Amino acid sequence: MYRAINRKRALLPCVIAFALASLAACNTAQRDAAPKGKVSIIPIPVDVKETPDSFLLDKQTVLVATTPEEKQDADLFNTWLQQLTGYALTIADKGDKNAIVLHTATDSSAHAEGYTLKVNKDRIDINGNDGNGTFYGIQTLIQLLPVEKGNSLWIPGAAITDYPRFAYRGLHLDVCRHFFSTDFVKKYIDLLAMHKFNTFHWHLTDDQGWRIEIKKYPRLTEVGSKRKETMAGHYSDQKYDGKPYGGFYTQEEVKDVLKYAAERHVTVIPEIEMPGHALAALTAFPNLGCTGGPYEVGTRWGVYDDIFCAGNDSTFLFLQDVLDEVIALFPGKYIHIGGDEAPKTRWEKCPKCQRRMKEEGLKDVHALQSYFIQRMEKYINSKGRRIIGWDEILEGGLAPDATVMSWRGEEGGVAAAKQHHDVIMTPGNYVYFDHYQSKSKSEPVAIGGYTPVSEVYSYEPIPKELSPEEARYIKGAQANVWSEYMPNASHVEYMVYPRATAMAEVVWSPKEKRNYDDFVERLKVHLHRLDLKQVNYAKHVFEIRGSADSSAKGVVVTLSSKLDGGQLFYTVDGSNPTPQSTPYTAPIPVDKAETVRAAVFLDGKAYGSEYTQAFIFHKALGKKVTLAQPPHANYNPGSPFGLVNGIEGVKEYNDNQWFGYSGANFEAIVDLDSVQDIHTIGVNILNAKDPGIFPPKDLHFLVSEDGQHFKEVYKQNTFNQPGINQVRASLQNIKGRYVKVTAQNVGKIPAGAQGAGSLAWLFVDEVIIN
């Protein structure tokens, strides 16, 4: 018995050794027969080479990290991994086989924030050129993981070299119009870092609320953080909810958010608005305004005439005190001081401001704003920081060391770059995520405009007007999220994602690597990652799309859908589209007044929002149109064809149909191809004065047979209908081939109106001829 037992004990190590060898052989065979995973990364890297190998990540895999920063990045990787597997990897100082190895070095000759990532069957190596590079390598590794949960995860073999195109990659959040908790701000930063953005622009003060604690001035939050009520519905409705609203961040909460951001390699830039958007501060301290008040924290959206008084030395002392506390909190080199939408109405009448202008030899109130900004810049520079301002800080002369955020189109950025100032591009027509992202009538209310994912993706931050030397001053770009119509965190997510994923690729990836169709394919995988983050993203990118296009015979409707396996069906009589309707196989000609309705079906069920578009029919449909000058970039349908495409713009101006002119006049000539009888002429004009859209002073129609000699046939100078004014005029005994339409902009918004003194918008759409 004794010998037998000992024989069994003697055999046991052999059995164990055999079992371990078999297991190792099995694991080796399993690794060699690994399934080929899908490499799908957003933003797309500089270079990706897929390899036959795959790496099996399991509980025995080790994360090798030697520096505190690498270990911090490893912890963040484990946070994601636990969502997929339920376990975290051991973090060790060394490891070779079955290991993910992080290595950070600093190479001044290599690309800043760059990294390489190699996935072999035995290990994964991430080499970051600096701490940021290692972190971004981790973010890419996360995107190589499967999106399905499991105990072990196959990671596809790949060799990746990557680095950002732009040094500044920003995402903004306005917490003044609506306030968001620190938990949501952290989630916002988390998502921002996941997409390789490196800057969070935190808009902390405005007319509708002061959101940051300033210990020297507690009234800023005691009074300035609260408003008696909030607008309900769209601005044009002028309705209020009657409910008190407020909120602010303590300095301890700010520190907590900044620590969280730093761990994710995100720089936070605070914005303290001046000299405009100051009503919340003036309510707390009326002596800082030109009139002395009384003031009230803003309850409506838009621009207010009451701004900081530039003739008061106490204004500058107050702002310096505020900035002292802000600078002590925020470690980054930039402080954003706003500078936008500052009406000069009060300054023009204020004795103190007029005295300041005389003493400083300033020619006008625009020069006074430049004085204001430059004075604050000198103070901020004295603290070792630099200022950023919206492009209005160009007016009256740019502060010497200022960085310009170009939001009113690209003109401000071009002007600043030509003056050799650093520029961050943020034009409204491409990167304002408060715009509508779908034309569906079921969309929640938004400020206006139309900026779908495809338009965000199409943005090129370096303007064509710049030389290579001037282009060096374009430091990057940023998307902005103004929260007037975003009452809660879920709504913010809906408006930001997936548009932010498109923006991430704009600012990170090489221009030549970007391809929208390829991006959408990768997005289909990436949305599962957003699901894991519980992001309430919009799904419009996969709904049916329709566009009116010019053709030799006039206008055709082109339909498309990114839904895999979906089939399109349409009707032209206004009836519901079903799988029994006409299948879409080619562009649909518009040869009469009709309503095209279309839907995409998968397995017999409709998917997403339906496309519905009514078309009017007239002689000018699809004809050649020549514009005297193009519309403003923020409201430009893309081609003069938009004036004769048979689609009438809607009053919400979210359908990309209106031709918008800021302070400029409209003139268009339509060529009918031949001399014809003209019985009716018309055009649509938008009258929405609260957001600054004014009807023209004068509207004129002229007709010519040769394109040289025009005769006026109709004019109008009153447009009293709120919303859309459908101008229609009947004519008798008029022949012509060319029809010219001119509309004179009112110029500046008149006194007493919202935004007085700013340039007025003129909106024109659809020239109608019969």
- Residues that are catalytic: 341
| Residue 49 vs residues 39, 46, 526: alpha-carbon distances, Å | 10, 10, 19
* Type of residue numbered 196: K
| Residue 594 vs residues 557, 585, 613, 618: alpha-carbon distances, Å | 12, 19, 8, 12
Nearest CA-CA partner of 373 in 353, 350, 351, 401: 401
Please, are residues 132 and 38 in contact by the beta-carbon 8 Å criterion? no
767: its two tokens: 């020239």
Other beta carbons within 10 angstroms of residue 689's beta carbon come to 18
Please, are residues 600 and 543 in contact by the beta-carbon 8 Å criterion? yes
Pairing of strands 99-104, 90-92: unpaired
262 Cβ neighbours under 8 A, 6+ residues apart: 331
**Could you give the CA distance from residue 364 to residue 560 in angstroms, rounded to a whole number?**
53
Count of all residues that appear for the chain in the document: 770
**Could you give the CA distance from residue 578 to residue 568 in angstroms, rounded to a whole number?**
9
Residues linked to residue 436 through DSSP beta bridges, in sequence order: 450
400: its two tokens: 């010497």
Pairing of strands 168-174, 199-203: parallel
Residue carrying structure tokens 């072990």: 152
For residue 548, what is the DSSP state?
A: E
* Type of residue numbered 505: E
**Could you give the CA distance from residue 600 to residue 606 in angstroms, rounded to a whole number?**
6
- Per-residue exposure over 218-238, b if at least 16 CB sit within 10 Å of its own CB, e if not: eebbebbbbbeebbeebbbee
Residue carrying structure tokens 């052989």: 25
Nearest CA-CA partner of 311 in 357, 279, 277, 272: 357
**Could you give the CA distance from residue 433 to residue 424 in angstroms, rounded to a whole number?**
17
Nearest CA-CA partner of 344 in 387, 302, 290: 290
Q: How many CA atoms lie within 13 A of 386 on its CB side?
A: 12
Q: Is 531 helix (H, G, I), strand (E, B) or coil?
A: helix
**Could you give the CA distance from residue 396 to residue 371 in angstroms, rounded to a whole number?**
8
Residue carrying structure tokens 């060799």: 159
Nearest CA-CA partner of 538 in 502, 589, 576: 502
**Could you give the CA distance from residue 354 to residue 336 in angstroms, rounded to a whole number?**
27
Please, are residues 219 and 284 in contact by the beta-carbon 8 Å criterion? yes
Q: How many CA atoms lie within 13 A of 166 on its CB side?
A: 30
Helical (H) or strand (E) element with 12: helix 2-32
Helical (H) or strand (E) element with 51: strand 47-57
677: its two tokens: 């009888």
Furthest-apart CA pair in the chain: how many Å? 125
Please, are residues 746 and 760 in contact by the beta-carbon 8 Å criterion? yes
For residue 476, what is the DSSP state?
A: E
Helical (H) or strand (E) element with 185: helix 182-194
Please, are residues 441 and 613 in contact by the beta-carbon 8 Å criterion? no
**Could you give the CA distance from residue 106 to residue 115 in angstroms, rounded to a whole number?**
11
For residue 391, what is the DSSP state?
A: G
